[in-house]
A and B are shown apart, each in its own frame.
Chain A
């Protein structure tokens, strides 16, 4: 698909724009309302991840590209489409790795070190923005895709454990990630679920991973 500017040509080819020509030819024969309805359905049914990971060729852009003239006359439908809230893009989690030196050869240390995505001697961290604007790191044990993992040998009842869960929950929400508490047995899982419920934390799952 040649345009006057070679950069545009290259970009359009990268975006798969060549296919648009054929699509446009077919689309000229399809009413604009149908295009917009289809685009809206695609947007509604696509997961945010699909849209975010796509190379910029969102359904709405395709719809407008293939039937611009016809679409302009359908103002109401178009306005509805434009008002669709922008979906968040899902970049990989912004995990930093900080040196960690908690020394023990016992079961519980090995359990923590065995977390998915753990790096020995380092802790994965997410940066939390405090209410006053300052940044603080919040540490975890491992990462698996968009899930950030914290392993707990036992769920102790100290206030600091609850504070930590709150900190972790806040930073996860800030980064739009999900936390996973991995515990060694059913008893600890039930303790963890009780605690999460008590604290009204909703962005943590609990999973049993036997040591």
Chain B
């Protein structure tokens, strides 16, 4: 797995959480989300976590000003080195590539859902859309083989998020047009996807009101169902 671009997406989101003005993003909400994602990162397999720590250090060089400090201190602030040092005797040391992808998928899904369902009182909706757009653009540029694995991974992890959120996680490839990104060199496949997509859109009535109904029925992803 090529870690750097994924680490870039995650560090961009941490910078967003830290630097977005209080007027547009509730401080407590930002801290809670940061803590949640920190926990996810600390649970990564050791080899993968090592790569992320190195990637954050490398990415810090490309940042400027406040964001440079933030990214440089990210591993320290999230206690990632301590997590590396901690030994979990119940866990097998054997690396499972598939498990890595699932863990990455969980982090990316958490970020996508945060941007999509967080209430207007806590997060300015225009900023959320803008950030989600950046996030989607970064996803589009990931290596295609890795993207294929990610698309499958979202389906695998979806049940962990409950009913409504799980449905959204399963649809992340649709919402971000990931299958189209994978098939960008294949016009036949692209045409197939277009037909499927049109069929899906046509079956959804009252698009404008339906989208608004989402917010009243979903909960934030990091209030995980027991």
Q: Which residues from chain A contact B100 at a C-beta distance below 8 Å?
A: none
CB of A161 within 8 Å of the partner chain: yes
A103 touches B19 (CB 8 A): yes
The reply to whether A159 and B214 contact each other, CB–CB distance below 8 Å, is yes
Chain A residues with CB below 8 A from B62, complex form: 105
Choose from A98, A112, A156 the contact partner of B176 (Cβ within 8 Å): A156
* CB interface residues, B 63-112, toward A, < 8 Å: 67
Chain B proximity of A152: nearest CB distance (Å): 7
Closest B residue by C-beta to A187:
B180
> Within 8 Å of chain A (Cβ to Cβ): is B130?
yes
Knowing A160-B115, A167-B125 touch, does A103 contact B132 (C-beta < 8 A)? no
Contact of A159 among B67, B131, B211 (CB under 8 A): B211
Residue contact B125 to A153, C-beta cutoff 8 Å: no
Decide if A103 touches B16 in the complex (CB within 8 Å).
yes
Shortest distance in angstroms between B73's beta carbon and chain A's nearest beta carbon? 15
Per the CB 8 Å criterion, the residue count for chain B at the interface is 37
- Which chain A residues border B127 with CB–CB below 8 Å? 100, 102, 139
A11: Cβ under 8 A from any B Cβ: no
Minimum distance in angstroms from B72 CB to a CB of chain A: 14
Q: Which residues of A contact B214 (CB under 8 A)?
A: 159
Answer whether residue A109 sits at the interface, using C-beta atoms and an 8 A cutoff: yes
Contact B15 A160 (CB under 8 A): no
Q: Does A164 contact B (CB under 8 A)?
A: yes
| Chain B residues whose C-beta falls within 8 Å of the C-beta of A105 in the assembled complex | 62
- Cα separation A102 to B210 with both chains bound (whole Å): 29
Which B178-226 residues have a C-beta within 8 angstroms of A? 201, 207-208, 210-212, 214
* Chain B residue contacts of A198, Cβ below 8 A: 201, 207
A162/B211 in contact, CB under 8 A = yes
B131 contacts A154, C-beta separation under 8 Å: no
Whether B134 lies near A109 (C-beta < 8 A) is: yes
Q: Tell me whether B136 is interfacial, beta carbon within 8 Å.
A: yes
Kindly state whether residue B26 has any CB partner on chain A within 8 Å: no
Contact with B along A143-184 (1 / 0, CB 8 A): 000000000111011111111101100000000000000000
Q: Is A156's CB under 8 angstroms from B177's CB?
A: yes
What separation, in Å, do the CA atoms of A163 and B124 have in the docked complex?
Answer: 13
**Is A101's CB under 8 angstroms from B137's CB?**
no
Q: A156-B176, A159-B214, A162-B211 are in contact. Are A104 and B126 (CB under 8 A)?
A: no
A108 close to B (CB within 8 Å): yes
Asked whether, in the complex, the Cβ of B126 is within 8 Å of the Cβ of A139, the reply is yes
| A-B pair number, CB within 8 angstroms | 93
State the majority secondary structure of interface residues on B.
Answer: helix
Task: Report yes or no: A154 in contact with B177, Cβ–Cβ below 8 A.
Answer: yes
Instruction: List residues of chain A with CB within 8 A of the CB of B212.
Output: 159, 163, 166
A138 on the B face (CB < 8 A): yes
Are A101 and B21 also in contact (CB < 8 A) when A158-B175, A160-B125, A161-B129 are? yes
**Most chain-A Cβ atoms within 10 A of its Cβ — which of B21, B127, B133, B136?**
B133
B15 touches A156 (CB 8 A): no
Give the residues in chain B near A13, CB-CB below 8 Å.
none
Q: Is B47 an interface residue (CB 8 A)?
A: no
- Interface: A83 (CB within 8 A): no
B174: chain A residues at CB < 8 Å are 157
Q: Which residue of B lies closest to A123 (CB)?
A: B126
Within 8 A of B (CB), among A186-211: 198-200
- Nearest neighbor of B138 in chain A, beta-carbon distance: A106
Find B133's partner among A100, A152, A162, A167 (CB 8 Å cutoff).
A152
Q: Report if A80 contacts B (CB, 8 A).
A: no
- Pick the residue among B15, B19, B124, B175 that contacts A157 (CB under 8 A): B175
Docked complex Cα distance between A200 and B201 (Å): 14
Picked from B16, B23, B126, the residue with its CB within 8 Å of the CB of A164 is: B126
**Quick one: closest A residue to B117, CB to CB?**
A160
Residues of A within 8 A of B115 (CB): 160
Give the top 4 A-B pairs by smallest Cβ distance, nearest first.
A159-B211, A139-B126, A162-B211, A108-B137
| 7 A-B contact pairs sorted by A residue (CB < 8 Å) | A101-B20, A103-B67, A108-B133, A138-B126, A154-B133, A164-B125, A198-B207
